[in-house]
A and B are shown apart, each in its own frame.
Chain A
Amino acid sequence: MRLTNEEKAMRDGSCGLAVAKAMDLLIRYGDAVGAENLIDVSSVSAGIITDGKTAPGKGDTAPFDAFFSEFYLDSSESVKIPRVRANTCTILHEMDSKLWQVQGVSQKTHDICDYLEDCCNRIGFAPAYTCAPYLVGYVPVKGEHCAWMESSAVPLCNSVFGGRTNTEGIESTGAAMLTGKIPNWGYHLDENRRGHYLVEVEHDVISGRDWGLMGYYIGHVVQEKIPVYSGIKNLPSLRKLMYCSAAGASSGGVEMFHIVGVTPEAYTAETAFGNRKPADVLKFGKNELKDAYERLQTASDPDVNFVMLGCPHYSLEEIWRISMMLEGKHIADHSNLWVFAPNAIKAMADRAGYTAVIEKAGGYIMCDTCPCIAETVPAGTKVFATDSPKQAHHMHSIMKIPAWYGSMEDCVNAALTGRWEGEF
C-alpha cells in the first residue's frame, strides 16, 4: 500500500504509540485486501462490546487503555489511548443507563459499561449509542467516505445516502477513529458499487413488513452480492428501507443494494449495473414473501410474554404511532413491551409526552442497547414477538427464544392481549 509522508510518520510514531498501532493495523488490513492507499473518513461509528473481564478503574484509565488496545487496535500491549481524530460515535452497548435493572443487567456489567462510557467520552467517542446513527445526525452526503460498523446501517449509508463504507469491525473502526483513515477498497471504489443480481419485484411491496421480508428473502439468496430491485411502485420510507437493510444483513451479508428510480446510484437499471449484465435475474413475488414470513416464525405457542420493537432503533415517528395505539390502554398481565430508540430520540419522546403514554400502558422505551446485544430479556420470557426480521433471526440463535414476526400493529396487539394473532 502506498502511504503519504504523513501516514508514514504516523506509522513511525510521530503521533504517539496508539496511533502507530492503529496505522500498523490499517497497513495489515490494507495489504490483506490489496488496497492501493488509505483515504480520509468523515465519520466513524463503532460498537462497544465488553469482554466481561475489564474491571472499572477508579479514576484510572489503565483498564480502558488495555481494553481499547486489545479490542480496537489488535494490540496485546496496552498503550495510552489519545483523543479521536475522526468524528466518531458509539453504536450499541449492553445497557440502558437508567433502566438497566428492569433490563436485568448485572451490577458488574453496569459498572463496566458506566466506566467505559466515561472513558469514551473523555476521548471524544460520542455517546450516540444507537444502531441507527443516521437518525441522530450521522448522515453522509453522496460520495462521502465513512468507516461504519453495524451491518444494518452500512447498506443505508451506501445505498440510500450514497455514502461509502465497508462493514467495518471493531478493530478497523478503532484504527480509523485514531487516524481518520481507512483502506481504500471495496465499497469505497466505484467499480465495486455496481449491481450483481436483478430482482424483478412482482408483488406490491408496500408495508414495512413487506420490505423486511423482501430484504430477508433476497439477502439469503444473494449473500454478500448487490441486488438491484426493479418494479417498485410505491416509494418506501426510510423506516421501510431500514427493515430491508437490517434483514438482508442478517440472512445474508448485503452491504449495498439499489432500487431503480429510488436510490441515488440507480437512476436507471443501466446505471445501477454500470452497463454490465446482471449475473442472474431473481423473482420476488407472493410465494417468496410467504416463504420468508414462514421462515421467521420460529414460535408455535400463541402465548406471548415479550414484545420487542425498535430494531433497528425507532425514530420519533414510530414512537408517536405506538403511543397513539396505547393511549388509554394497558398491556396484558405477564406481558412486557420494550421499545428501543436512540437516547437523543427518547429525549424528544419524553418532552412530547409519548414516553409517559407508553409507560402508563405498562411499556418501556429503552435506549443504548437491544436484547440481543445485552443478552437480557424480561424474566420468564418463553416466546417473543417483534416487527424486526433481524431480531427474530438472531434472538432465536443467541437466546434460543422462539419468535413471532409481524407488523408493528400485530406486535402492539400481542402486547395488549398476550396472544399472537398476526397472520400472513
Chain B
Amino acid sequence: MGEIILRGRKVAGGRAEGEAIVARENFSGFGGLDRETGMIIDERHPLYGRCIGGKILVMNGAKGSSSFSTHFHHVRLNGAGPLAILYNVATSKMVMGAIVSHVPAMTGFDIDPLSVIEDGDLVRVDADSGVVCVVKARSS
C-alpha cells in the first residue's frame, strides 16, 4: 500500500493521526455546523448529516458568517472537534477556526490535499515538521 506525502506550513503545532473527512465544498459555521455535535447541518452541503468530530478535517476554506471560529470553539468545548485541520485558503475565519480548535493545523501544501485525500483515508499529520502522510483506504 503506497503512502502519499504532502508538505505544508504549520498553522498550529502538534501531531495527530486518524481517518479523513473531506469537505469538497466550503461550509459555514453559522447555519452549517452544529455547535453541540459537530454535525454538518446545511442540507445543500455534500457532508450534510456527517460529523467532523474525531476526524482529520480536510477542507478548502471557510465561508459564511463571521461566527465560523466560534462554532469550532464550541464544538471543541463540547468534545466534538476534529483531530487536525488541513486547509488551502487562509481567510481570518478559517485561520481563527483552526487556532481555537487547539489541534494541529496546516496549510500551504505542495499538493492540494483535496486532490489526494478521500473520506476514510488514514492521515498522519505532523504540523511541527510540516508533513502529512496519507494512506489510501482504497487503491485507485
Contacts and interface: CB of A to CB of B under 8 A. Distances in A.
Interface of A: 25, 28-29, 32-34, 47, 49, 51, 70-71, 74, 148-151, 154, 166-172, 186, 223-224, 249-250, 252-253, 255, 372, 393-394, 396-398
Interface residues of B, number: 37
B96 to A, nearest CB: 4
Interface stretch (B14-22, B50-58, B68-76, B130-138): B68-76
Nearest to B29: A169
| Interface-central residue, A169, A250, A394, A396, by most chain B CB under 10 Å | A169
Contact of B93 (A71, A74, A250, A253): A253
B100 interface: yes
B31 A253 contact: no
A148 B65 CA distance: 12
Contacts of B86: none
Contacts of B122: none
A169 B31 contact: no
B61 interface: yes
Interface in B104-118: 105
A30 to B, nearest CB: 10
A168 B96 contact: yes
Across the A-B interface, give the 4 residue pairs with the lowest CB-CB distance, nearest first: A169-B69, A253-B63, A166-B92, A397-B31
B61 A168 contact: no
B100 A397 contact: no
A32 B12 contact: yes
B11 A32 contact: yes
Contacts of A49: 67, 70
Contacts of A372: 30-31
B98 A255 contact: no
B73 A171 contact: yes
A255 B62 CA distance: 12
B103 interface: no
